[in-house]
Amino acid sequence: MGWSWDIPRNTPFSTLDPARVNFTSDALVITAQAGTLYQDNNNIRNLPSVSVPALRGAWSIETRVRLQRNGLSPAYLQAGLILFRDANHYFNLHLVYLPDNNNWLSVSGGHEWNGVYQWAGLSGVVWNPVSGDTVRLMIRYEPNTGRVRCFYDREDGVFWREMTGSPRLMSDFPALQAVAAQGGQIGLYVDTAGGSGMPAPVATFDYLQILSDYHPADVNQDGIVDDADLLEVLFTFGAQRCNLPADVNQDGMVDDADLLEVLFAFGE
C-alpha cells in the first residue's frame, strides 16, 4: 500500500514526523502530536492516507483503533477514519474522549465543506475506558437506498452497533459524497483537539480495509484504468468468448468498442 502523508491546505503540507510513527509487524502506531483539522486550524500531524478512485457498488471502509489518552489534558481527543479532498473538505468517523463526561469514551463523526465544520449528527453509547479503549469503525454505502450507514463495534460481545443518526443521505456529507463520486484520499488520523500533556496519547491502528467494486474498464483490477488495461485489451483483441475481462462492454467480443471504453476511462 502506498501511503501518502500530504494534505493540501494543511500546514505543514507533509504531516509526517518519523519519530512519532511506528509500523510494527501487525499495526500502525502513532504517538499523537499537537495539531488538528478544525475550521481554519489546519495543522494536523502524522495523517497517512491512500489515494482512491471513485468508489463503486456497495462499498465499505473499516478500521480498528485503540486510543490511549495517557497524560493529555481534557480535550475531545479522537482517532479514526477520514476521507478528504483537502484540509477544508473532509468527513471523519472516530473514537473520542469526552471532556464534559469524565473523559469517558464514545463514537462520533464530523465533516467540513469549504472550511466550515459541522458535527455529523452521529453518536453512540458512552463508556468507561477502563472497560475498553478499542473500537472497530465502519462506513458502508447501500446503493439500493442511496444512503450511507455508520457502525461501531466495542468488541464487548454485541458486535456491530449502528450509530444513532444513521443511516443518512450521502448528500448530508458533501465531502464524503465528493470522495465517493470523484475519488480522493482515505486515511487514519489522531487529533489532540487542543489538548496537551505528557505522556502523549497513542493511537494504534490494526488495519484499513476499503472494499469497492472495480471500474469495468479496470481490466486487470489493480484499482486504476491505465496502460496495463489498454495492453490487456490489445493482446486479447478479436477474441470472442463470454466473460473475458478485456471485453469491457460485455458484448461477447474484444474489439474497438472495448478500447474506447478504456481510453475514455483512462486515469480513473
Rounded to whole angstroms, how far apart are CA atoms 23 and 41? 28
Higher pLDDT, 249 or 115: 115
Which position has the grid cell 491512500? 50
Mean pLDDT of the chain: 94
User: Taking the CB of residue 100, how many other CB atoms lie within 10 A of it?
Assistant: 8
Higher pLDDT, 246 or 142: 142
Low-confidence winner among 165-169, 187-191, 236-240 (lowest mean pLDDT): 236-240
What pLDDT is recorded for position 116? Answer: 97
Residue 143 pLDDT > 70: yes
What does the pLDDT look like over 178-214, one tens digit per residue? 999 999 999 999 999 999 999 999 999 999 999 998 7
Domain residue spans in the chain? 18-211, 227-264
Rounded to whole angstroms, how far apart are CA atoms 14 and 260? 38
Residue 223 pLDDT > 80: no
In CATH, the architecture of 18-211 is Sandwich (2.60)
What does the pLDDT look like over 84-134, one tens digit per residue? 999 999 999 999 999 999 999 999 999 999 999 999 999 999 999 999 999
Residue 268 pLDDT > 80: no
- DSSP character string of the chain: ---B-B-TTSSSSB---GGGEEE-SS-EEEE--S--EETTEE------EEEE----SS-EEEEEEEEE-TTPPSS--EEEEEEEEETTEEEEEEEEEETTTTTEEEEEEEEEETTEEEEEEEE---B-GGG--EEEEEEEEETTTTEEEEEEE-SSSS--EEPBT-SEEGGGSHHHHHHHHH-EEEEEEEE-TT---SSPPEEEEEEEEEE-PPPTT-TT-SSS-SHHHHHHHHHTTT-B-TT-TT-TT-SSB-SHHHHHHHHHTTT-
Residue 59 pLDDT > 90: yes
Counting residues of the chain whose pLDDT is more than 90, the rounded percentage is 78
